[in-house]
Amino acid sequence: MGALRNALHYVALFGILVAAPVLGNAAECELVVAKLVSVEGEVEVRVSTAKNWSIAAAGESFCPGDTLRVNNNSRAALQLSNHTLVRLDAHTTLTINGPQQAQGFWVELIRGVSHFISRVPRTLKVITPYVNAGVEGTEFLVKVEKDESTVIVYEGTVSANNDAGQAMLNSGMAAVVKSGQAPTIKTLVRPRDAVQWALYYPPVLEFNDNDFIGQTDNSWQSHIAASIESYQRGHLTDAIKTLEQVSERVEDPRFYTYRASLRLAVGQVEKAQADLQQALTYQADDGGALALQAIMAVVQNDKTRALTLANQAVDRAPNNITAQLALSYALQAHFQLEQARTNVKQAVTNVPNNALAWSRLAELHLMFRDLDAALAAAQKAVELNPNIARTQTVLGYAELIRTNTRAARQSFEHAIALDQGAPLPRLGLGLARIREGDLIEGRHEIEIAAILDPSNALIRSYLGKAYYEERRGEVAAEQFSMAKELDSNDPTPWFYDAIQKQSENRSVDALQDIQTSIGLNDNRAVYRSRLLLDDDIAVFCASQARIYQNLGFDQLALLEGWKSVNTDPSN
């Protein structure tokens, strides 16, 4: 997963303090137990004192006994008062029971899929119709279907139990429990496939209804125009529902490509893939459909297929801006940053009014630390379309790296308002708030970024660094381990892990990690130019010198120090 989503790795290291979650917007009860931090689509709530459902909004707080329902083509993220973060898929219903004295915090998953991140041991219990999950400070997924429940553990330990038996699950293990039966343990080869619905797919298709203006009848073109209007107002669910009202047979690939892009925005990966296949059935060389398939392959870490599809998209539709953007991501995944930037430069020359293309160019400029060009491109993107979260996000990072934290924070907050499911503005907002001295809220935003994109190795590395700064070494190590697993080519978690081990007087282990980090450094070319890679080597060598000194190898320490200075004499 690392290639695409590591694109904004130029942010500086930071420090964090331990903090309790800030729930805010208190509900009308003595004990607020949860807050809705992200809504994509439509979420409803039924408070414990009422019979009817009402629409819930991000920022809303809840009381014990309140029930949330995530509707079709929707997702949500919830923060519990016991520090737990919960991501809810479509068709999920969850009751928040709250603290149950010595038994910890209880939630009841009635149906659907929920992904939990709980960092405090023995503070959470998940009740389902067929099995209960007792948490030992961990990360796990629970799925409730018609006749069975499934528990999958990604980190830590979970006790899966019911009246028929009990099973202890560790990382990479799962339990499937049918009605009236004891838990059956399974070891999964690819356990993270179960959270595909939670991944974030960056936009490469900018919606434009110019081709459908004037369509006033009930044709599919008129539905697309109405759908685009709903999407631009921030009503994603209405945008998708409008397309579902099309009853006629549509043989234009644009219909399916557009609908696929909306479905990807809410994690409906299988439906999106079916739409793209349908588009290619009607037009085998459709550049937009091939481009979206390439983006899906990049996010799912299938780099070879991504590049093949992106090249096909450009060959068959050389003037298609979506195809050019997809190719830039695929090239980045193959460490070809300069070519990626060259292609996007050509794309904005050919289509100078595409905001996503300008934001992508700004992103690539940042990877080369071309700060003035990055800021100019980001500002151009926002000028063309300020209502796309991606343009606001890249502008935020362009301001952040120039230490203009106030402007950066404003851009990130605007991006979050436009796309509550986007993880990168959350990460950026967290870093901006930390730089302004608001360490509590900064750490909180980075945790939300992690639940919004649980397979993002870069965010895991930052989260591990945060826990390290909190002096929570055990959970920091778990995050570094997870980041290494998610992206085996990224040196970042190895570097952070080395720093932690050195602080714990584990100098031999630290030396092994820093050497691995140095060996992997060229892999960071996926999002860093050659010059910045040289900067990285200088930092790694300096850290290795300190470790050698701790081990008593003074001569080796001097050699590494000299190497660091020679690599980057201006540092």
Q: Which residues are bridge partners to 152 per DSSP?
A: 141, 174
Stretch 49-69: mean pLDDT, rounded? 93
| pLDDT computed for residue 102 by the predictor | 62
Residue 77 has pLDDT above 60, yes or no: yes
At 24 the pLDDT is 46
pLDDT score of 538 more than 50 = no
Domains of the chain, start order = 31-198 (2.60.120.1440), 201-346 (1.25.40.10), 455-567 (1.25.40.10)
Q: What is the mean pLDDT of residues 534-555?
A: 46
Beta strands in 119-198 (DSSP E): 124-127, 132-135, 138-144, 148-155, 158-162, 165-169, 173-178, 184-187
C-beta separation of 253 from 220 below 8 A: no
Averaged pLDDT for residues 81-110: 89
pLDDT value, residue 494: 79
- Hey, what amino acid is at 462? Y
pLDDT, position 5: 40
Tell whether the model's pLDDT for residue 4 goes beyond 50.
Answer: no
What are the CA-CA distances from residue 212 to residues 224, 480, 501 (Å)?
A: 7, 49, 60
pLDDT tier, 68 (very low <50, low <70, confident <90, very high otherwise): very high
pLDDT computed for residue 51 by the predictor: 87
**Residue 556: pLDDT band with limits 50, 70, 90:** very low
* Alpha carbons 102 and 133: distance in angstroms, whole number: 16
Go through 250-259 and write b for each residue having 16 or more CB atoms within 10 A of its CB, e for each that does not.
Answer: beebbbbbbb
Place of tokens 């009841």: 108
Q: What is the rounded CA–CA span in Å between residue 131 and residue 331?
A: 45
Give the pLDDT of residue 121. 66
More confidently predicted of 136 and 191 = 191
pLDDT at 452 over 60: yes
pLDDT at 356 over 90: yes
- Is-contact 312 330, C-beta < 8 A? no
| Structure-token match 């992508």, residue found | 360
- pLDDT band at 101; cut points 50, 70, 90: low
Question: Is the confidence at residue 564, as pLDDT, over 50?
Answer: no
Handedness of CA 242, 196, 116, 109 (dihedral sign): positive
Q: Per-residue pLDDT tens for 130-161? A: 989 988 768 899 999 988 999 999 988 899 99
10 Å CB burial of residue 260 (0-12, 13-18, 19+) is buried
What is the C-alpha to C-alpha distance for residues 231 and 24, in angstroms, rounded to an integer? 28
Which of the two residues, 22 and 87, has the higher pLDDT score? Answer: 87
Q: For the CA atoms of the chain, what is the radius of gyration?
A: 24
pLDDT at residue 500, as a whole number: 79
Q: What is the pLDDT of residue 383?
A: 95
Instruction: Report the phi/psi class of residue 177: left, alpha or beta, with left for phi > 0 and alpha for psi in -120 to 50.
Output: beta
**Amino acid 187: pLDDT:** 81
Q: 342 or 457: which carries more pLDDT confidence? A: 342
CA 535 to CA 529: how far, in whole Å? Answer: 10
Segment 9-13 mean pLDDT: 37
| Average pLDDT, integer, range 75-100 | 92
> Is residue 83 scored above 90 in pLDDT?
no
pLDDT of residue 547 exceeding 50, the answer is no
Examine the pLDDT at 166 and tell me if it is beyond 80. yes
Name the DSSP letter for residue 102.
G
207 band by pLDDT with thresholds 50, 70 and 90: confident
- Tell whether the model's pLDDT for residue 127 goes beyond 90: yes
Predicted confidence (pLDDT) per residue in 267-279, tens digit: 999 999 999 999 9
Percent of the chain with pLDDT over 90: 44
CA distance 461 to 427: 12
- Calculate the average pLDDT of the chain: 82
Does the pLDDT value for residue 221 go beyond 70? Answer: yes
What's the pLDDT at 215? 53
pLDDT, position 522: 58
Residue position matching structure tokens 């060229």: 522
Full-prediction pTM beyond 0.85? no
Q: Taking the mean position of all CA atoms in its chain, how far away is CA 311? A: 26
HSE-CB for 368 with a 13 A CA cutoff: 17
Residue 119 pLDDT > 60: yes
Closest of 459, 372, 513 to residue 11, by C-alpha: 459
Matching residue, tokens 């989260």: 463
